[in-house]
Amino acid sequence: MNFTPLGKRVLVKRVEEANTTSSGIIIPDNAKEKPSRGEIVAVSSEVSELKKGDEVIFGKYSGNEVTLDGDLYIVIDVDDIFGIIG
Interface residue list for a second copy (CB under 8 A)? 2-7, 9, 11, 21-23, 25, 27, 31-32, 34-35, 42, 44, 49-50, 57, 59, 64-70, 72, 75, 78-79, 81-86
Residue among 81, 85, 77, 82 at smallest CA distance from 44: 77
State in angstroms the smallest separation of the CB of 70 from a second copy.
3
Q: End-to-end CA distance of the chain, in Å?
A: 26
State in angstroms the smallest separation of the CB of 52 from a second copy.
14
Residue among 68, 51, 20 at smallest CA distance from 81: 51
